[in-house]
A and B are shown apart, each in its own frame.
Chain A
Amino acid sequence: MERMPVFVKIDEYEEVLSLLKTVRGKLDDAKGTLAKIHELKNEEDHHLEMWQNSLEEVEKKVDFIDHSLNEPERYQ
């Protein structure tokens, strides 16, 4: 289906271009901020993973101590 061309009249063309440039700059800023947030989130995830591992390690050690104290080997 062929369409007729539509022309839109813009009186302050230069201002519109300048505004679009500013909006584009703001969008870049927002993208940068979002990237930083993403980076921090990754760092937080890394910390959480480390904590998970270290807690598991401590749990293993406490289990060993508990086992040694509660179920000692028989004296031979």
Chain B
Amino acid sequence: MAKKKAAAKKPAKKHIVRKSIPKKAPVEKVPEYMVQIHEPKMIRKDVLESLREIIIFMQGYEKFRLLQEEKVTLFAKLKRELKEIEVMIDSKLRHYLPKGKLHPVTREDQKKRDEKEVVDSMSYMEEKPVPVQVVAASPMPVGKVVPPKNELDDLESQLKDIQSQLEDLS
């Protein structure tokens, strides 16, 4: 069986008759244009120098890419440091110090305030007693709570105060 299969696989030898092909004469490629180069050495030198410049350029690009990567890392570091400073000042230092809504009191302001207090007390003394109406006590409104001011508004008002104080100073 095996022998039969092997015999079946082997193709019958064919006699190939090679025809003799006449050899063609090598055709010389004639250039279409002939250009005289006046300074061939200079051109060769220019080509080589251009290549050298481009290779230096590509080497520089690699360095440039590394510089940019380093710069991106430093930017991230700077951002982190600034965030830490912001957290320290905004949450910790502000927590230690009182809110900056204090206005400086001048002597004139103090005098005016004192005078006003005296006038108020005098007018209070001169006022006639008003008959008081007794009204049944109504329960206090529990549900209505004044919503706290937005933090941004608060900051804005503080900023305005600081700016006005700075203007006063200048």
Contact = CB atoms under 8 A, between A and B. Distances in A.
The answer to whether A binds B is: yes
Interface in A17-76: 19-20, 22-23, 26-27, 29-30, 33-34, 36-37, 40-41, 43-44, 47, 50-51, 54-55, 57-58, 61-62, 64-65, 68-69, 72-73, 75
B89 interface: yes
Contact of B71 (A9, A15, A40): A40
A44 B35 contact: no
Chain B interface residue number, banded: 35 or more
Contacts, number: 107
Interface residues of A, number: 44
Closest 8 CB pairs of A and B: A61-B46, A30-B81, A33-B78, A61-B50, A16-B96, A40-B71, A54-B53, A58-B50
23 contacts: A2-B107, A3-B106, A6-B102, A8-B97, A10-B97, A16-B96, A16-B97, A23-B88, A26-B81, A33-B74, A33-B81, A37-B74, A40-B67, A43-B67, A44-B71, A50-B60, A57-B49, A61-B46, A62-B46, A68-B38, A68-B43, A69-B35, A73-B38
